[in-house]
Amino acid sequence: MSTSYQLDVGKIRRDFPTLKRDVNSGASLVYLDNAATSQRPVQVMAQITRFYRDHNSNIHRGIHTLSVEATEMFETARSKVGQFINAQDSREIIFTRGTTESINLVVNSWGRKFLKPGDEVVISELEHHSNIVPWQMLRDSIGIELRYIPMLDNGHLDMETANKIIGPKTKMVSITAVSNALGTIVPVDEVIALAKKQEALVLIDCAQSVPHMAVDVESLGADFIAFSAHKMLGPTGVGVLWGKLNILESMDPFLGGGDMILTVNMEHSTWAEVPSKFEAGTPNIGGVIGFGAAIDYLNDIGIDNIRAHEMELTGYALQKMSDIPGITIFGPDTAEERCGVISFALENIHPHDIGQILDDNGVAVRAGHHCAQPVMNFLGVPATVRASFYIYNTKEEIDALVSGLLVAIDLFGVKS
């Protein structure tokens, strides 16, 4: 594993007060639940505080000083997000409450307008529920067909079957870039190429990719991507939908109300231009501004350095965990095929019990189906334990995870 990158993890950790906590009667916190949400650095918290302390006002509607300042801070954050994913026009950045809302926006504003009974939407068995349920709801409402790319035993998608499923009736392919349950990196470029041969649109769920690896929408070739601030050092309640401007302009609004209109009378209303058309009501202004600070923080570290650090941690964890008696590690074999996510099970110990024992020892992981029940069904398990890494995690914390798992094995009397 290459170590040519420069990442001062000790310096980074000083920016995250939560990581200094002791939990459960003195155990040092080891936070390995980053796929659910990351921690926030003091720089993000300070920017949010600064907004509410010095600039608090609604945006886009006022001519007074505070409103002008707040609007400039908000729109500067939009530009930062656009630059982070190499969007060519900041109007293509739509702020939502999260990845889930971004996907629902596409389903309802694009799908309800342009899909008709018999049209096919293709997703996969690797999806988070937020990229399954909205399409099922649309199917049940208007009669589209929903088809699934199956997964393989190694956690990858069955691309041979994908080539058969994505066909002339396919109008949309909506797929994850990285499995939140297994960490599998999906070959989205191949999926996009298959979709474009059929002139289908493509939505990529990038909730687990944008925080961890470079995503360039200009070269990607997708029509929409969705991701969340809270998985990349930003506040909760802020998400992003990026879409090609001409497609966004062709879509109907998702929500009606203030700020998304051009004119309103008692008989008829007309819509504002993109992005305002999709941002009804007062947004999470402080959260978006805080997200801008999170983007600054990630840019200072460098997304390639983040990816290299996580690959090294993941490779180390796979090596150390593979020696644990009775463990099953799900998903791809190598760190290169994953983001920093490892899902696993211990023989004869329920994942929730493992999670509780780890928590007693200060190690925070996620135990459950991870909003990916089709993945669990495929694996034949009710749940897994998931450890997930980010920029502030260390090899010593992985050692603490392994030690905690050995404690669980000892407590349950599981023999090797």
Q: Which helix (H) or strand (E) holds 228?
A: strand 224-228
* Phi–psi pair at 142, nearest 5 degrees: -120, -5
9-31+302-412 placed in CATH 3.10.580.10: no
Encoded amino acid at 94, one letter: I
Of 3, 62, 72, give the one whose Cα is nearest residue 285: 72
Same fold, 9-31+302-412 and 45-300: no
- The pLDDT value recorded for residue 61 is 82
Is 255 in a helix, a strand, or coil? coil
* 206 assigned to active site: no
pLDDT at 3: 42
B/e letters for 118-130, b = 16+ CB within 10 Å, e = fewer, are ebbbbbbbbbbbb
Give me the catalytic one of 137, 371, 402, 407. Answer: 371
pLDDT tens track of the chain, all 416 residues? 344 567 899 999 999 999 999 998 889 999 999 999 999 999 999 999 999 999 999 999 889 999 999 999 999 999 999 999 999 999 999 999 999 999 999 999 999 999 999 999 999 999 999 999 999 999 999 999 999 999 999 999 999 999 999 999 999 999 999 999 999 999 999 999 999 999 999 999 999 999 999 999 999 999 999 999 999 999 999 999 999 999 999 999 999 999 999 999 999 999 999 999 999 999 999 999 999 999 999 999 999 999 999 999 999 999 999 999 999 999 999 999 999 999 999 999 999 999 999 999 999 999 999 999 999 999 999 999 999 999 999 999 999 999 999 999 999 976 65
- In whole angstroms, how far apart are CA 62 and each of 74, 273, 277? 14, 18, 18
**β partners of residue 346:** 327, 349
Res 1: pLDDT? 37
Domain ranges of the chain: 9-31+302-412, 45-300
Q: Do residues 386 and 143 touch, judged by C-beta distance below 8 A?
A: no
The CA distance from 274 to 290, in Å, is 22
What pLDDT shows up at residue 2? 41
Distances (CA, A) of 389 to 10, 70, 341: 15, 34, 7
CATH number of 45-300: 3.40.640.10
Query: Measured between alpha carbons, how far is 278 from 78 in angstroms, rounded to an integer?
Result: 14
